[in-house]
Amino acid sequence: MYGSNKIKSVDSLRFSKAKEKFSSKGSLISANENTDLSLLPPCLNSLNLHVTRANYQAMIWKRATESHPYVPAPVHNGWKFENDSLVIDWGEEMFPREITDVLEDNLGSDIDDDMEDDLYVDIPGSYDSDE
């Protein structure tokens, strides 16, 4: 898995890869200047949601030849509604709120509470819309 034959858990592998990318100084962990956290493997929760979305899309493609295919709602299939829009369910928070608060306190107020933009997707006919 991701070039490691010994590790069987994606969360353990993520931790191991994170340790490689961070240098330890005492009891604190500091990031190298050019560390791109998006290169880490996903956590198990995020991976499960990604697989669920991929499976949902494959199911839609499999039924593409049917004139009136049954397509279940995307909600609970790796998607969710936020503010009346369908968005990708990225999973739980990356860090517990307490850790995020500490990081924000240490880095100042330049960090937005909303650290990543949601990808809004319009799937016509798959949910109730005003169109």
User: Which uninterrupted H or E stretch holds 59?
Assistant: helix 44-62
- Where in the chain are the domains? 10-29+40-107
DSSP 83: T
Q: pTM of whole model > 0.85?
A: no
Give the pLDDT confidence score for residue 28 in this predicted structure: 53
Q: What is the CA radius of gyration of the chain?
A: 19
> pLDDT tens across 1-13, in order?
667 778 888 888 8
The tokens 């494959």 sit on which residue? 58
- Shortest CA distance to 19 belongs to which of 11, 27, 10, 29? 29
What whole-number distance in Å separates Cα of residue 105 and Cα of residue 121?
34
| 111 Cβ contact partners less than 8 Å away, ≥ 6 residues apart | 103, 104
> pLDDT tens across 29-66, in order?
555 556 677 778 888 888 999 999 999 999 999 999 99
